[in-house]
Amino acid sequence: MLVGLTIGNVVLIEKLELGFAPGLTVLTGETGAGKSILLDALGLALGARAESGLVRAGAAQAVVTAEFHLPTDHAALNLLDAQGIERDENLILRRQLGSDGRSRAFVNDQPVSVAFLKALAEHLIEIEGQFETHGLLDPATHRDLLDGFGGHKIELARTVEAYRQWKAADNALGEAQAVLEKARADEDFLRHAVAELELADPQAEEETKLAMERQLLLAGAQVIDAVNAAHQDLAGDKGADRALISAERRLQRLGDKLGEALGAELAAIAGSLDRAGVELRDAIAGIQNLQSSLDADPARLERVEERLHLLRDLGRKHRVRADTLPDLLADLSARLQMIDGKSGDIAGLAARAAETRKAYLAAAGALTQLRQKAAKTLDAAVTKELAPLKLEKARFATRIEALPDAQLGENGADRIAFEVATNPGAEPGPIQRIASGGELARFMLALKVSLSRAQPVPTLVFDEVDAGIGGATAAAVGERLKRLAEQLQVLVITHSPQVAALGAQHWRVEKKVAKGVTSTTVATLTKEQRREEIARMLSGATISDEARAAADKLLKGAA
């Protein structure tokens, strides 16, 4: 609730500090005393539009601070957490307005935007005046108010969860369908490409191997002559192979003659020659194999070139290196398998989306039934409040309409609006379009009283809700304000003595002139001062004994 308001240099207010109590606080005073200035100052702290005309003449800036005490789970404190603003024992909103029209906003001494200040204030306080167009007049608030009135918290949570599951399943289905659609757009190409590559059957590193073989084959006779000459040098009558064998035999015979003295050393040399002979014979075998391959198939070059041409053409066609064609074939085949297998996945996702949608519609349908029941109860409660407020011919109705599929949301399948008809036989319509200024204020009061348990803000301010009425109707207004104050903190600016008498706290707003300077002050009234103020409201400038007696009667009845 609002616990304090400090105002400095706002219009006629030089310095003012107000402390607020729970329950009903009434502000009275003569017309023009400055009651509206208090609302302007409070609005400034709540993020209302700032105009340089609010700054007191001669002052450099106006400053307004509003202090609130809130439960730890209040929605406004969650906004602080989201903004990274540290919580304190109380929540303090401050607004500075310079004479040049520039303003700054602070929350718990942390600078914030005016937009954030306004968003925060919407969770703290609501000002209801004859011509205000927010709060209950905003249809966007009606669904939450009806749910709060009906106590639909559990059912609403179920609907929210069911909606989120449905949307998650629906999104998964949509994403899978988009992937499949894109894949199917390439399906003909994929099938042709895979068939072509499977027919070609490319092997790993095949292009590199064929290129090397082609190079050898292109060398033709030169390669054959060189290979044959190499073979003759190594394995011919005067080749290296015979020379090694001859050298090895000579050393063995010498070793046999020389005995053990030099035999070991000659044996080591002979071993080296033997190993060299083994390597040499391997080389000769390799040359012989190469001779066989070169001589075996004279048409090999043509086949190698045809294969190379095929592989390289496929590589250019698919913009890959020919050696990577096997990898490409594997990738394209996998994409085809995905297309073939995706239909089964789509069917499963579609079934899941249908199942979760059905569950959501069931939860939303159950919530709709509860809302319809709560709407009947609310309509009856508001109607009961209207007659004493001189609105006995008016009719209040909660309209519940089914949303189209495109507008279904986590809060259910209903569009909810509070409507009224002020004349018998007329169709109900939006409150702000049907009711006049005075009627509108009383409709708001009837609604507030009926919805007090569901009221999302802890503090309500009524600006002359009793304007244009008196007698029994004014008493009915006051009685309802008092009832509302049992649930919420209520501040009311009033000209009605019947309403003023019911306040738990009574302030008088006065305009004073000192040394040629006009200022507005607010005084908390004692019991005797309240009697005099209510008597003034009853009789005018001259307070009579009859007025005092009537004031006593009102105060006694309010006790």
Q: How confident is the model at residue 235 (pLDDT cuts 50, 70, 90)?
A: low
Q: Find the distance separating the first CA and the last CA of the chain, reported in whole Å.
A: 24
pLDDT at 240: 72
- Say whether pLDDT at 276 is over 60: yes
Angstrom distance (rounded) from CA 504 to CA 500: 9
Angstrom distance (rounded) from CA 288 to CA 294: 10
Considering Cα of 172, then 178, then 181, then 187, what sign does the dihedral take?
negative
Which residue from 43, 13, 25 is spatially nearest to 103, judged by alpha carbons? 43
**pLDDT tens-digit readout, 472-484:** 888 888 899 998 8
Which residue in the block uniquely carries the two structure tokens 């029941």? 373
Which residue in the block uniquely carries the two structure tokens 């008809």? 421
More confident residue, 289 or 487: 487
Domain extent listing, the chain: 1-124+457-523, 187-338, 526-559
Q: What is the largest CA-CA distance in the chain?
A: 163
Angstrom distance (rounded) from CA 188 to CA 483: 76
| % the chain with pLDDT above 90 | 44
**Mean per-residue pLDDT for 338-363?**
87
Pairing state between β 414-421 and 429-430: antiparallel
Let me know: does 148 contact 452? Beta carbons within 8 Å.
Answer: no
Angstrom distance (rounded) from CA 421 to CA 335: 65
pLDDT at 169: 96
Angstrom distance (rounded) from CA 211 to CA 126: 86
pLDDT at 300: 81
Let me know: does 18 contact 522? Beta carbons within 8 Å.
Answer: yes
**pLDDT tens-digit readout, 539-558:** 877 888 899 999 999 998 87
pLDDT at 261: 55
- Say whether pLDDT at 351 is over 70: yes
Reading the block at residue 557, the tokens are 């009845």
Reading the block at residue 519, the tokens are 């200022």
Angstrom distance (rounded) from CA 104 to CA 47: 10
pLDDT at 131: 44
Q: How confident is the model at residue 133 (pLDDT cuts 50, 70, 90)?
A: very low
Rounded alpha-carbon distances, angstroms, from residue 331 to 33, 183, 194, 337, 345: 85, 13, 9, 10, 20
CATH class of the domain at 1-124+457-523: alpha beta
More confident residue, 336 or 499: 499
- Taking all residues of the chain, what is their mean pLDDT, rounded to a whole number? 85
Which residues have a Cβ under 8 Å from the Cβ of 99 and sit 6 or more positions away?
Answer: 52, 55, 59, 60, 61
pLDDT at 247: 75
Structure letter (DSSP) for residue 56 = P
pTM of the shown model = 0.65
**pLDDT tens-digit readout, 427-460:** 888 876 776 666 777 888 888 888 887 777 889 8
**Mean per-residue pLDDT for 481-497?**
90
